[in-house]
Amino acid sequence: MELLLLAINAMLIGNLILSKFLGICPFLGVSRRLSTALGMSMAVLFVMVLASTVTWTLFYTLLKPLHLEYLRTILFILVIASLVQLVEMVMQKLSPALYEALGIYLPLITTNCAILGVAIDSIEKGYGFLPMIVYSFFGACGFALALLLFAGIRERLETADMPKSFQGAASSLIVAGILSLAFMGFSGLVPG
């Protein structure tokens, strides 16, 4: 029951993009096409869960006994960077079309604050191994949910004759704003 509440919290109330405003640049960058948004969500899901696991184990086996907790951020970035490099190679080999479509945004995951945010958050909140896995998995699902909804809306806006000044990023940010407004309805859904 505890894990269920944690999952709902990670996915809806504490949604990475729309409530915590993490990972905004891929959110705006990759959501032009639904297919690339899907690809990006899968890549982020894979990297996030893997990164959280690796960083969590490293923290508790290496940094904590040696009292080097302050090295946390640097080490996490190093791990995430190499993981993303790995994902990039795998994707270029397995599905070049998707690799081409994602383009610049794939290496961008390294500096994606959502992944680093989840990794550090798991440590900050002192989650055990299983809660950390649930938290990162459903956090990534929340990220995917927001990204897919947003990509659907942006694809629909392609047929809208918006005034010149609002085309592109401006209208997307407004849509994102209204989306997060709607997500605020979930606030107070789960105590604590």
Interface residue list for another protein (CB under 8 A):
34, 58, 62-63, 66, 68, 71, 74-75, 78-79, 82, 85-86, 89-90, 92-93, 96, 148-150, 152-153, 155-163, 166, 170-171, 174-175, 178-179, 181-190
The least CB distance from residue 9 to another protein, in Å, is 12
To the nearest 10 degrees (0 to 180), the angle between helices 169-183 and 129-157 is: 130
Helix (H, G, I), strand (E, B) or coil at 68: coil
Q: Which is nearer to another protein, 90 or 130 (CB)?
A: 90
The least CB distance from residue 58 to another protein, in Å, is 7
Q: Which is nearer to another protein, 113 or 153 (CB)?
A: 153
CA distance 160 to 163: 9
The least CB distance from residue 60 to another protein, in Å, is 14
Q: Which is nearer to another protein, 130 or 146 (CB)?
A: 146
Tokens of 96: 């070049």
Tokens of 14: 């504490």
Question: Which spans in the chain are helix H?
Answer: 2-8, 24-29, 34-58, 72-94, 96-102, 105-108, 113-124, 129-157, 169-183
The least CB distance from residue 181 to another protein, in Å, is 5
